[in-house]
């Protein structure tokens, strides 16, 4: 669920002139008299909950005889580029999955049709990190699907050998545990990291910014302004840098994209990641070590503030393109795919639901229990600014963090430079 935008504002500008024609062509979105409903989902659904997709399609075709549902699975890195291309034509998908950090630029450029939240299950308890990504100017343009939250993941056997009794509950307990890991395994293993925290891991670093009361950017009137050089943000980045200096051994120019494979090599005591990475570190198909199976557990990662480290709440939403001619049918499919029963199926697949009510159904003692606990703290999201796409594509945050991690610039100087670069693109459409 690491989301990357691949659309460009110039393409969306083209969509503006086309979306109006699509909106006016059909107010109801077609009839039930046969035909096809095209749904674009990310590959996560195909790999992790294909039964939910099939059961939804079966329910839908029973309710709408003669309408065929065609699900097309998309890869995250190329999904938006393909979407931009088809939205410029006439044959558009009727339902598209979007990362919650991807929606703003499409919404402000009228690429999605508004929806009525009252039509969907538990819309009054949708998670803000998903619901807020769907809203603009008092209207809602997408439906929350699922969410994920990062947690601490640790080697239970190494903790035991180092004399650490269970998962840390406070930041002091965390650093104490990391000190014991470092002192126990570091002398005999120069590659050992008590905490794996690569320098370009911006989802982790920004959690420390948020924990300190800082923000990536804030809205001032109708415009957004980067705030990484604020005193609170600098304090968070400084603590993140201290943690790296104390417990991470490795290339500080790396990001976390191959985290499970690196952890699977056996030189890591703990790391910060998505809950599925606990199993992936023992998966030989991605470089993990099968001997490590069953040796990982998760915990809510404590922050320096005394509260849980606020995680990035990355997840997905479902939208109906403005040019779809089957809007009513598309909304009905989304309703079935995101209702209470469907959310139960996602929980069974170790995925967090789209609403606060069913978050209580996530087993506290299961691998996803700490993620549910972390998600309910509120977490954080990237700014809902029209130019956020450009910020991510420009790698501004990873480049800032690499400079800090390698000592090439002070936290304050690196943050000021990043603010200037972010401000230059943050408000573009």
- Fold matches, 9-149+314-375 and 151-312+384-425: yes
pLDDT 10s digit of each residue in the chain, 429 long? 333 333 333 333 333 333 333 333 333 444 455 799 999 999 999 999 999 999 999 999 999 999 999 999 999 999 999 999 999 998 999 999 999 999 999 999 999 999 999 999 999 999 999 999 999 999 999 999 999 999 999 999 999 999 999 999 999 999 999 999 999 999 999 999 999 999 999 999 999 999 999 999 999 999 999 999 999 999 999 999 999 999 999 999 999 999 999 999 999 999 999 998 998 999 998 888 999 999 999 999 999 999 999 999 999 999 999 999 999 999 999 999 999 999 999 999 999 999 999 999 999 999 899 999 999 887 899 999 999 989 999 999 999 999 999 999 999 999 999 999 999 999 998
Q: Rounded to two decimals, what is the model's pTM?
A: 0.87
For residue 284, give the H/E element and its range: none
Look at the domain 151-312+384-425 and name its fold.
D-Maltodextrin-Binding Protein; domain 2 (3.40.190)
For position 17, what pLDDT does the model report? 37
Compute the distance between CA of residue 159 and CA of residue 141 in angstroms, rounded to an integer. Answer: 46
User: Burial level of 222, CB count in 10 A (0-12/13-18/19+)?
Assistant: exposed
The 3-class secondary structure across 46-102, one letter per residue, is: HHHCHHHHHHHHHHHHHHCCCEEEEEEEECHHHHHHHHHHHHCCCCCCCEEEEECCC
Q: In 10 A of CB 92, how many CB atoms?
A: 21
List of residues 6+ apart from 31 with CB closer than 8 A: none
> Which run of H or E residues covers position 159?
helix 156-161
The pLDDT assigned to 30 comes to 42
Instruction: Give me the residue spans of the domains in the chain.
Output: 9-149+314-375, 151-312+384-425
The confidence score (pLDDT) of residue 29 equals 43
Q: How far is CA 298 from CA 106, 155, 209, 347, 368, in A?
A: 36, 9, 22, 17, 8
CATH number of 9-149+314-375: 3.40.190.10
E-strand ranges in 192-258 read: 193-196, 217-220, 223-226
Among 207, 189, 184, 196, residue whose Cα is nearest residue 251: 196
Helices 76-87, 9-25: axis angle to 10 degrees equals 50
Matching residue, tokens 């343009």:
141
């Amino acid at each position: 669920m690491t989301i990357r935008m691949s659309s460009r504002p110039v393409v969306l500008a083209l969509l503006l002139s086309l979306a109006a024609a699509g909106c006016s062509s059909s107010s109801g979105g077609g009839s039930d008299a046969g035909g096809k409903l095209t749904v674009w989902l990310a590959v996560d659904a195909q790999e992790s909950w294909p039964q939910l997709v099939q059961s939804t399609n079966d329910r839908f075709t029973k309710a709408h005889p003669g309408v065929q549902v065609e699900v097309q699975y998309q890869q995250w890195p190329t999904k938006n580029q393909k979407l931009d291309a088809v939205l410029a034509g006439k044959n558009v998908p009727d339902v598209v999955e979007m990362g919650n950090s991807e929606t703003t630029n499409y919404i402000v450029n009228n690429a999605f049709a508004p929806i009525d939240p009252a039509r969907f299950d538990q819309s009054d308890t949708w998670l803000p990190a998903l619901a807020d990504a769907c809203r603009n100017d008092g209207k809602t343009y997408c439906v929350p699907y699922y969410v994920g939250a990062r947690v601490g993941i640790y080697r239970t056997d190494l903790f035991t050998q180092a004399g650490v009794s269970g998962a840390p509950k406070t930041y002091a307990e965390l650093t104490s545990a990391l000190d014991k890991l470092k002192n126990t395994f570091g002398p005999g293993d120069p590659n050992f990291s008590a905490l794996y925290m690569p320098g370009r891991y911006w989802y982790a670093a920004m959690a420390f910014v948020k924990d300190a009361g800082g923000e990536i950017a804030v809205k001032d009137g109708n415009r957004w302004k980067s705030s990484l050089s604020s005193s609170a943000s600098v304090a968070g980045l400084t603590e993140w840098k201290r943690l790296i200096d104390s417990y991470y051994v490795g290339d500080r120019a790396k990001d976390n994209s191959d985290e499970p494979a690196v952890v699977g090599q056996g030189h890591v005591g703990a790391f910060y990641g998505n809950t599925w990475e606990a199993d992936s570190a023992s998966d030989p198909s991605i470089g993990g070590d099968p001997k490590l199976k069953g040796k990982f557990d998760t915990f809510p990662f404590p922050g320096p503030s005394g509260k849980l480290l606020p995680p990035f709440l990355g997840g997905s939403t479902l939208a109906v393109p403005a040019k779809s001619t089957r809007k009513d049918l598309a909304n009905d499919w989304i309703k079935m795919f995101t209702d209470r029963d469907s959310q139960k199926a996602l929980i069974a697949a170790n995925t967090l639901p789209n609403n606060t009510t069913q978050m209580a159904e996530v087993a506290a003692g299961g691998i996803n229990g700490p993620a549910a606990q972390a998600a309910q703290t509120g977490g954080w999201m990237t700014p809902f600014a029209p130019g956020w796409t450009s910020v991510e594509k420009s790698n501004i945050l990873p480049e800032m963090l690499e400079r800090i991690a390698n000592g090439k610039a002070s936290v304050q100087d690196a943050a000021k430079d990043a603010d200037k670069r972010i401000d230059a693109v943050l408000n573009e459409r």
